[in-house]
Amino acid sequence: MTEIRNIDYNDYVDLVGTAHFTRRSLDDAYRAIRSLKPHDVALELDWNRFRLLNASCVGCSERGSCRGICEFTGAAEALGNIDANVWLIDMTEREMRQRIRSRMTPFEMSRIAFSPYGSWDQDPVRLWERGFKDRVISNTKRQIEASRRFLPSVWRVLIDERNALMAGRLARIVTRKLDEERKPKILTFVGAAHVEGMRELLSNPLTVKEDLRRLGVPFTEPALIRRVAVQED
């Protein structure tokens, strides 16, 4: 892994918390793209999920009017006809499944059906769509802490390990650009549950490498999708 600088990487990374597949999150993604006009966008996806999401949208009869489009796909489309980098920074689903299976205890296996949502009114998607973003984030924090007690291995992989990997990959992107004497600004879309932890890691970057080592997460490079503007006649 490229040497991480002892700087606050939050100065170069804008983290946008989302609730996947909601109209409000998609609108947030569109607004962020239009406001910041970034040339670098990072997404909480791996190559396979990105490919599948895009393929499903390309063949959809409701393309352009669908209310269920993923905000990650929407953010990439909203870049428009410009030269841009789309960085995929998440762990693969296969890695997540393998790491969870290797860590789960018999006690956790018996609690795997545990549901963090207590009622219709607490459903995060419906709350998010109704405009209660802060309430969703607050509820999510409580649910994560409760889930850590019941399924610590699952949440270690889904939250802690992915936070460390995604923060490390963002730091890698920023460091590379700084080494090239360019001033980066990476607009990054991740699930709301990841924002606080990733911001903390990016503000204390020397802990990122230590967290990856402690959690046993091998660092690999983020996937880059290079977009090239198409000349219009």
Mean pLDDT (10-residue bins), the chain, 233 residues: 83 89 78 91 92 70 56 82 92 91 81 48 48 56 67 86 96 93 92 92 93 95 88 61
At 172 the pLDDT is: 94
At 200 the pLDDT is: 96
CA 7 to chain centre: 22
At 59 the pLDDT is: 57
At 43 the pLDDT is: 94
Give the CA dihedral 203, 166, 114, 119, nearest 10 degrees.
Answer: 70
Q: Cα–Cα distance between 7 and 4 in angstroms, integer?
A: 8
At 166 the pLDDT is: 97
At 134 the pLDDT is: 57
* DSSP 3-state of 17: strand
Neighbouring CB atoms inside 10 A of 26's CB total 23
Neighbouring CB atoms inside 10 A of 178's CB total 15
Neighbouring CB atoms inside 10 A of 6's CB total 8
Q: Cα–Cα distance between 44 and 3 in angstroms, integer?
A: 23
Q: Are the C-beta atoms of residues 44 and 90 closer than 8 Å to each other?
A: yes
At 128 the pLDDT is: 44
Q: Cα–Cα distance between 14 and 199 in angstroms, integer?
A: 9
Q: Cα–Cα distance between 72 and 164 in angstroms, integer?
A: 20
